[in-house]
Structures are given as C-alpha cells and as structure tokens.
Homo-oligomer: A and B are copies of this chain.
Amino acid sequence: MITVTRLDCADARVMIEGARAKADEIGVPMCIAITDEGGNLIAFERMDGGKVTSSIIAIDKSFTASGAKKATHEYGAASQPGAPAYGIASAIGGRLMVVGGGLPVFVNGDCVGGIGVSSGTPAQDTEVAQAGVDAVLATL
C-alpha cells in the first residue's frame, strides 16, 4: 500500500477563491478547475462572463497538470514543431493540454493536485492559476 497526500475540498475552495480574487483584480472572468493528484475534479467555477468553451479546457488543464505533475505551458514549449513532444496535444482524446493555465501543486515534493484556468490569454490564465496555488500554500 502507498500513502498519498492530496488536496481536500476545503483546499479546493481556498484555491478557487484565491484565483477568483486575482481574476477580479485583472478584470478577466475565468473558468477555474481544481483536481486531485489522480486528475479527478474536486471543484469548479465559471465566473459570470467566463467562456463556455473554457469550462472543459480549464478542467483538462487541471487534469493535465496534476496527472503529469507539470505546468501545461511546459508542454507547450516541448511540443512545438521539431521539439521532442510534438504531437502530444491531441493525446488522451485531446484532454492533454499544452496551453498555459494549468499548474500542479507540490507539497513536500509530492504533487497533491492541480489547478486549471481558462478564458483569458494563456499568460493571464497562468497568473490566475498561480494565485490559486499561492492561496493554498499560504494555509499550510
């Protein structure tokens, strides 16, 4: 047996609130998703004005970041034409997201879950996701 530490529902709420505060600050309504380390959804919120298409994108960014223990923008760089992971973007039925906005959450070196944000530019999405990560790390 293995013992695993993961985000709980209260952590997920803290992350959504942290991300939402940043989204309000930069004035971009976002879709925000939180997954556990197994990639399973814990919480989600589409702010008023968030893009309908971004709901699944946010969930899949979080799935990718937590399941692969890696920021989605790292996949973006690694999957450019000519780069080693070129073509990975359509893996897992297209769920593998290589666009910025998905971040894993690490605690004591272990990935405990992730966050995915979508509706803005990838840079804005990543900034808002980082605020969500910072919010939960501040509670530890």
Interface residues of chain A, those whose CB is within 8 Å of chain B, are 1-9, 11-13, 36-48, 51-57, 60, 63-64, 66-69, 75-76, 79-82, 84-100, 107, 112, 121-123, 140
Contact yes or no, A11 B4, CB < 8 A: no
CA distance A63 to B51 in the complex (A): 11
Say whether chain A's binding surface is mostly helix, strand, loop, or mixed: mixed
Contact partners of A54 in chain B: CB under 8 A: 67-68
Contact partners of A81 in chain B: CB under 8 A: 80-81
Given contacts A67-B52, A94-B93, contact A39 B40 (CB under 8 A): yes
Nearest residue, chain B, Cβ from A10: B48
Contact yes or no, B91 A97, CB < 8 A: yes
